[in-house]
Structure formats: structure tokens, C-alpha cells
Structure 1
Amino acid sequence: MTTPSTSLQKACRLLRALTDARNSRLTDLALAAGVDKASALRLLETLAAEGLVARDPATKAFTPGREWLALHAATLARTDLRPLVRPALIRLANAFEDSAILSVPSGCESVCIELRLGTFPIRANYLDIGSRRPLGIGAGSLALLAALPDAEVDAVLDGIAPAMRRYPRFSRDMLLGHVRATRERGYAVLLDVVVERMGGIAIALPGPDGYPLGAISIAALNDRITGREAAMARALRREADAICEHWRAHAAVKPGTRPDIQRPAARPRTREEA
């Protein structure tokens, strides 16, 4: 994460941090955004005056404000993947009894925007809707990173270098190795590196131009993934193919609903695309 240099950049980082429900206190928001507390308070008060942030007078907790919710609703009308992906998450959670997740890219981070819990007693409860991680940290996040062109992967790894200090089990070389492995097999697997004894398996959702719009993943105990990896990979691929086909049809019927993203100059081909 680069250090924000302008008030506008700082305000944007605070708004991003506020999407994670764990960041409601001033201290947590300032830390997550990389902004000193005095500046964070001043900017949050300005955002509150504009309706983009609300603050509970009793608890002093910050939450998204009414204007942000209006912007959010307008955005969902154009780019929301959730209606297309929810049935797939339900099927995956039912089939494997573990948590199924939809993540989308946001700058150098991935954001969990939809979650379906499985029925297995030991669940992956370290992700909530709104949770953010640097790209590459977590199976869904890794799938998104691996789907980017090489030049963008390098730029992302440069950008997340400061945030990587919070994840001592990760390194740049390790992530590059996982990117290569993900491209070779066509899906991402991460075991025992984000949370001990837990892991995930994921696949990216390419948009009409091949650029990743999101990723679906299954989070579970390590042995529940290793023992069923092939079946999980097939199910994820089947659901991803169906989602992308629906998305292409949706974009064709409603031009302009697709996110405004540029086609990368040279996107690496996965084994399935070769």
C-alpha cells in the first residue's frame, strides 16, 4: 500500500477501509488506511458532513452514510455480480458443506462481497462480507492476481509490499510461485498459509474481454480440500463457466452494464484456454 499524499487520497482510503465491518473505530480505520489519527478524524468528520459517513453518537463507531448507500445502489445496478453468482455459491456450499465466497478486485486488494456458509461444524469464519486482503493473500485473491498480465502482477506486488508485513508466511517469491502454479493448473489452491489448518481453492471469473471481474472460492480445513481437490476444481470450473456465459449474455442485452476496464496488452493464457 502506498502512502496517501493528498487529502482526497486519504479520504478514499478511509472509505475503502470502512467497507470492512471490523474497521469501525477511529484507531482501526486510521491504521487500515495508513493515515494518522488526527487527519483521519478530520477527514471522517468532513465525509460525515457530506453524508458519506455516519457516526454513532453513543459508541463513536463509524459506518457508511446515506450518500454512500445511494452511490452503492447506483453502482450495483450496473456492475453487480452477486445475482449471477449467488446460485453457484449456494450449490457449492451445499455440495461440499464448506463456505463458498465471491471476491472482487479493488485496486491492489480483493474484497469479499458475498458469502455462503456450509454446514460442516468447523467453518472458515475469518472472512466476512466487506473483508479486504492484498491480492494474492487467500485463494480467491490469488486467483484474481494470477489472472492479471505479468506486468500488472509485478506492479501489484510492489504496491502491496508494505501490507505484506502483516502476513509473515508470505513473500514476493512465494506469491510468484503460486501465481505460476495457479496458471498451470487453472485454479488457485492455498493451504495453511493465511490461517493455520485452513485453506481455500478458487477460480477467477473473466469478463468479456478476459480481465478478471471476480473469483469464486471454497474455504475449508486443509484435509477437506486435499481429499476432494479434483472434485472441487471441477465444480468451480463448471460454475465459473456458467457464470461467465450468463455475464456475456447480460452484457450483450444491456450494453454499458459491463465495468469500464481496459483490455490488457498481453494476458497470459491458462492451461484451459490454450
Structure 2
Amino acid sequence: MPEPNAVQKVCAVLRALAAPAPRRLTELSAETGLNKVTALRILDTLAQEGFAARAADGRRWRPGPELMALAASAGRPDDLRALARPSLVRLAELSGDTVLLSVRSGVEAVCVEREIGSYPIRANYLDIGSRRPLGVGAGAMALLAWLPDREVDAILGIVVQRLGLYPRLSQAEIRARIADSRARGYVVLLDQVVDTMGAIGVPVRDTAGRTVAALSIAALTTRIRAREAELAEALRREADLMERERIPAGQGGAG
């Protein structure tokens, strides 16, 4: 049997990562038939690209947020999305607007699930698999705002180079919105990304207290303004419900 090529080796590792529980390097090596050095080199590269991540114990490996985004676009369920589905349905019914679940991938936020409400004017510009720099949009801001300050500084140093498509946002403006979000306990962004549209969002944390996902509602700015307190309370309630389901440490996006 011929030696597998580089792409086949990567595919073998990705298939092994799809197991229900995180895997040790020795398990991945045995299952793929690759030596540990090769398997670790592939895992490190996949982690850099967001397709793999170390589990909370640092010794095992699990799928990364990029695989979650691919699974979402293909309609495959995963634990975080399954946990969020009831909350998304309730929020869409309550608000009538578009409700999003986002996770972090490096310095970007990736939409991994969406529920559309009954209101006829919708936020069609965000779909499953779409992504934005952290801080650009309510979900992306919720993933950024509650990170440690040193991590925020590092991320903004990269994100500032990607703001050309968002002329109303600057590093100073994003920092101001971070401070505002921390003071409120939730994010509100109006007319900053898309004219006449706004969004409101909250972080979802794992058992270690780290932000792993964001719930947000996107709607006409006038609809957000008129119901800000009600929507913020509903989002926080649903995030609390998800957190009480005990999201394991490390379940969400990768740093």
C-alpha cells in the first residue's frame, strides 16, 4: 500500500478529531497510523488555522472553531449549537428578529447558528459561516469585550488593520464600545456596521468563566432602541440557561 500523501495525512487527523471526546496524541497517532512527531506537526498547524484546539487539560485535542463552522454550514449538529438551539428559537419568537450564535476563531467571530424571526425586515447580511473581525458587530464585540485586557490589546493590534470595510469603526471607537459594554453588562451597536441596522448581544461563558460564545439579536436600529432593556434581559436569561447546562471549559472558540 503506498505511503499516504500530505493531504491524506491531514484528512486522517481531521477524521480522528471528529470523535465524541477529546483525544490524546498517542490515540490520534495510533488511529491515523502516523508517528507522533508527524501527528503533532499536523495538529499544531491545524490549531494555528483554527481547525484543531487543545482541550482544557492541555494534553488532549478536540475540533477547533473552523470545523464547527464547517459543520454548521453542512447542517451537522455539535454540542454548543445543540445547547443553543432552544435559546435561539425562544429569542426569535420573542423578538421577531434574527438571532445569532457566534464563536471565536483567532481574531474573528464566526456565526455558527442562526434563527430568523417573523418580522419581515431581516438582517440578511449574516449567515451561518459568515465571519467578522472581533469587535465588529454585537456578537463579535461580546466575544471580545470580556477578554483580559492584555488579550484585547493584542487582538486590536491585528484587527485595526482589517477595519477598511468598516469606516465608522476605529480602534478608539472599539475600545469605547468595550468600556460601554462592560458597564452595561451587554453590547449594543447601532448603525456602526450597516446603516439603519443594529444589534444587541451577550457573552456565554464556560465552567472556567471564559467567554466561549455570544448570543445576539440583529434588527432595525429603531426596533433595538425601543426594546433595549427587554432584549438585553432576554439574552442574558438565555445565556444563563446555557451556562447552567455546564458548558465544559474550552468548548468554544480558539484563541
**Could you state the TM-score of these two structures normalised by the residue count of structure 2?**
0.68
State the one-letter code of the partner of 2:196.
Answer: R
1:112-131 matches, within 5 Å, as 112-131=111-130
Question: What are the superposed Cα offsets for residues 184-206 of structure 1, whole Å, 9 maximum, x if unpaired?
Answer: 11000000010000000000001
Query: Do the aligned partners of residues 152 and 97 (structure 1) sit closer, same or farther apart at CA in structure 2, a change above 3 Å counting?
Result: same
1:1-274 matches, within 5 Å, as 80-248=79-247, 251=248, 258=251
SS at match of 1:215: strand
Point out 4+ residue stretches in structure 1 off by more than 2 angstroms: 76-80, 256-262
TM-align CA RMSD: 2.7
Separation in structure 1 between the aligned mates of residue 96 and residue 210 of structure 2, nearest angstrom: 30
Separation in structure 2 between the aligned mates of residue 164 and residue 136 of structure 1, nearest angstrom: 10
State the one-letter code of the partner of 1:221.
Answer: L
Separation in structure 2 between the aligned mates of residue 259 and residue 108 of structure 1, nearest angstrom: 14
Separation in structure 2 between the aligned mates of residue 260 and residue 178 of structure 1, nearest angstrom: 22
Query: CA contact under 8 A between 1:93 and 1:99: conserved in structure 2?
Result: yes
Query: Do the aligned partners of residues 260 and 148 (structure 1) sit closer, same or farther apart at CA in structure 2, a change above 3 Å counting?
Result: closer
Query: CA contact under 8 A between 2:71 and 2:77: conserved in structure 1?
Result: no
Query: Do the aligned partners of residues 116 and 110 (structure 1) sit closer, same or farther apart at CA in structure 2, a change above 3 Å counting?
Result: same
Which residue in 2 is equivalent to 1:49? Answer: none
Separation in structure 1 between the aligned mates of residue 94 and residue 254 of structure 2, nearest angstrom: 34
Identity of aligned residues (%): 49
Q: CA deviation at 1:147?
A: 1.3
Q: How many residues align?
A: 187
Gaps of 5+ in 2: 1-50, 52-66
Q: CA deviation at 1:79?
A: 6.8
Separation in structure 1 between the aligned mates of residue 91 and residue 132 of structure 2, nearest angstrom: 23
Query: CA contact under 8 A between 1:170 and 1:193: conserved in structure 2?
Result: yes
Gaps of 5+ in 1: 1-51, 53-67, 263-274
Query: Do the aligned partners of residues 161 and 98 (structure 1) sit closer, same or farther apart at CA in structure 2, a change above 3 Å counting?
Result: same
Query: Do the aligned partners of residues 171 and 90 (structure 1) sit closer, same or farther apart at CA in structure 2, a change above 3 Å counting?
Result: same
Separation in structure 2 between the aligned mates of residue 243 and residue 106 of structure 1, nearest angstrom: 20
State the one-letter code of the partner of 2:188.
Answer: V
Separation in structure 2 between the aligned mates of residue 235 and residue 198 of structure 1, nearest angstrom: 19
Q: CA deviation at 1:160?
A: 1.2
State the one-letter code of the partner of 1:225.
Answer: I
Separation in structure 1 between the aligned mates of residue 115 and residue 253 of structure 2, nearest angstrom: 28
